[in-house]
Structure 1
Amino acid sequence: MSHRSIRPNIVRAAKGKQAGSGNAPRCATTELSLVLGSPKPSPNSPGQFDVPLTYKNTSSRTCGLYGVSGVDLNGPEHANGAVYHLPRVDNGVKYNEVPAGTTATATITVLKPSDDAATWTPTRVTTIPPGQTQALTANWPSDLPVLRQDAATHPGTYVNGILADPA
């Protein structure tokens, strides 16, 4: 899967608390590792789950990580293809400094299919950190199915902006 398949789709303006001075250069993909957390029911909407998308700064310097990552869910063949390009919601922090060895997290909000809907379960996630061109991948957590809404105006599955993790 080429990293070029991730489509930008900014849906809302950024908001949130700035973390840091804004002087550190952006984190390069080569300076980051990726971990997907366990799905948890979304506190905002029944039927949706939040999956933490956590980036760890593996370099020896502080770098900036802010904006919305490009995210593709990759899985079995489907009527719309084996890749689901997630829309982006820019609701993270305006600027975020990530010291060496610490993390910053975005959330993938997932709408599970209803009992009568076709089930599609991804096998992995491909993500490009904001401002970068190289991708990171991780296995999709457990067996969480996703309702594919590839052509929907306001789909229930999307990626949120990056937030500063608590110290």
Structure 2
Amino acid sequence: MVNVGMKRVSIGVAAVAGAFALAACGSGASQPAAAPAGPAAGSGAVGGAGGGGVSDVSKKSPDTAPKSGTAPKSSSDSTPRCTTADLSASLGSPKQHEDAVGQFDVPLKYTNTSSHSCALHGVPGVDLVGPDDPNGTTYHLPRIDNGVPMNVVEPGQSATATVTVLTQTPGSVGSLGSTGWTPSRLVTIPPGQTQALTVAWPSSLTVLRQDSATHPGTFVNGILADPPA
């Protein structure tokens, strides 16, 4: 009788442990490791409303995170998030990577055009939209949560998320045989928002479509604080 009781207790503990494991798996999305070339592919950016903690945001190790930017200005919980209406968006000049052929960083700057301070941090949603392609007209970019954890942007000040882009190089072929694709515009949703901002894409910068790649070379980095203007 003692042995039977022990077996029943063991089975009960195993069942509880199994249920806990299933609950833990269902409580949040996994965070796949990112290769140096880029993050694990996600389910799309703009439709996710931007910001960390969603399924298409992966964590990037500190040694491969962007080193630009300045110390962020911290905020309290009372500082409201920057809404899309508070911001304007613009693209800076592409800068080529020294250690990766055909890869560029394009600064995506958000400027606070409102009359109040607001919190701007996390990872924005970004879509590149252009001509027809075997993969479609829209490239949903995966995101890496490697920005500042908290940042306050004063009126007239800005913060930047870098878009890392893998361009078309001789002999390179993208997903479904895609070649020579140049977006016409970038559509972005600031973190925590649902409304989009649109910016013209540089006509000289092609993008290698890697919609089906596990670690694509084009992705969005987290927001970093800009130096005061």
TM-score, normalized by length of structure 2?
0.67
Q: Percent identity?
A: 56
Instruction: Rate the CA distance shift 1:132–1:62 in 2: closer, same or farther, 3 A.
Output: same
Which amino acid in 1 is paired with 2:222? Answer: G
Which amino acid in 2 is paired with 1:108? Answer: V
Q: Residues 124-155 of structure 1, C-alpha deviation per residue, up to 9 Å, x if partnerless?
A: 00000000000000000232000100011110
The equivalent residue for 1:149 is: 210
2:74 is aligned, of 5, 16, 20, to 20
The equivalent residue for 2:110 is: 55
In the comparison of the two structures, how many residue pairs are matched?
165
Query: Taking CA–CA contacts closer than 8 Å with sequence separation of 6 or more, which of the two structures ends up with the larger relative contact order?
Result: 1
Which amino acid in 1 is paired with 2:216? Answer: P
1:22 and 1:95 in contact (8 A); partners too: no
The reply to whether residue 129 of structure 1 matches residue 129 of structure 2 is: no
Separation of aligned partners in 2, 1:57 and 1:35: 12
Normalized per residue, the structure richer in helix is 2
Q: How many angstroms does 1:4 deviate by?
A: 3.3
1:14 and 1:93 in contact (8 A); partners too: no
The equivalent residue for 2:148 is: 93
Q: How many angstroms does 1:6 deviate by?
A: 6.9
Q: Any residues of structure 2 matched to 1:29-40 within 5 Å, and which?
A: 29-40=84-95
1:37 and 1:141 in contact (8 A); partners too: no
The equivalent residue for 2:123 is: 68
The reply to whether residue 110 of structure 1 matches residue 110 of structure 2 is: no
TM-score, normalized by length of structure 1?
0.91
Separation of aligned partners in 1, 2:88 and 2:115: 13
Structure 2 unmatched ranges of 5 or more: 1-45, 66-70, 173-178
Structure 1 unmatched ranges of 5 or more: none
Instruction: Rate the CA distance shift 1:160–1:51 in 2: closer, same or farther, 3 A.
Output: same
Instruction: Rate the CA distance shift 1:119–1:110 in 2: closer, same or farther, 3 A.
Output: same
Separation of aligned partners in 1, 2:48 and 2:126: 9
What stretches of structure 1 move > 6 A for 4+ residues in a row? none
The equivalent residue for 1:79 is: 134
Separation of aligned partners in 1, 2:210 and 2:118: 35
Quick check: 109-118 or 60-69, which moved more?
109-118
SS of residue in 2 equivalent to 1:30:
helix
Which amino acid in 2 is paired with 1:126? Answer: V
Normalized per residue, the structure richer in strand is 1
Q: How many angstroms does 1:40 deviate by?
A: 1.0
Instruction: Rate the CA distance shift 1:14–1:62 in 2: closer, same or farther, 3 A.
Output: farther
- What is the root-mean-square deviation of aligned Cα atoms in Å? 2.0
The reply to whether residue 138 of structure 1 matches residue 181 of structure 2 is: no
The equivalent residue for 2:40 is: none
2:168 and 2:208 in contact (8 A); partners too: yes
1:42 and 1:109 in contact (8 A); partners too: no
